[in-house]
Amino acid sequence: MTDLATQVGQTITITGEAGNARMGAIVFTPDRTAVYLLGKEEWETENRQTVTVTGTLRSVSLAPNATVDKDGAVSHGMDGDSWVLEGATWTLDS
């Protein structure tokens, strides 16, 4: 299991799979935890390619929390914080 909480504010390196999500480019840690790359909208490579990413780990809210109205309709949103790498640099592994 990846214990990212103990590394917040530190520069870390993650080797994992590249992926694209609605909120931007992500790297999956070996235990499949998604970590967003701040400022990178998408990977130029195929999803699931192995990448090595280095940046400062943060825990931030990327979108407003989802809400439920009186009729039960749920709005778009993301509950809670997400893992992000700030100032990330990366290499595509072969």
Domains delineated in the chain? 4-64+77-92 (2.40.50.140)
pLDDT of residue 82: 87
The pLDDT score that the predictor gives to residue 40 is: 95
> Which pLDDT score is estimated for 76?
72
Q: Are 88 and 53 in contact (CB under 8 A)?
A: yes
**Dihedral, CA atoms, 64, 79, 21, 52, nearest 10 degrees?**
110
The whole-number pLDDT of residue 51 equals 95
Asked if residue 37 lies in contact with residue 89, where contact means CB atoms within 8 angstroms, the answer is no
The pLDDT assigned to 64 comes to: 64
Determine the pLDDT at residue 69.
Answer: 85
Residue ranges in the chain whose pLDDT is less than 50: 1
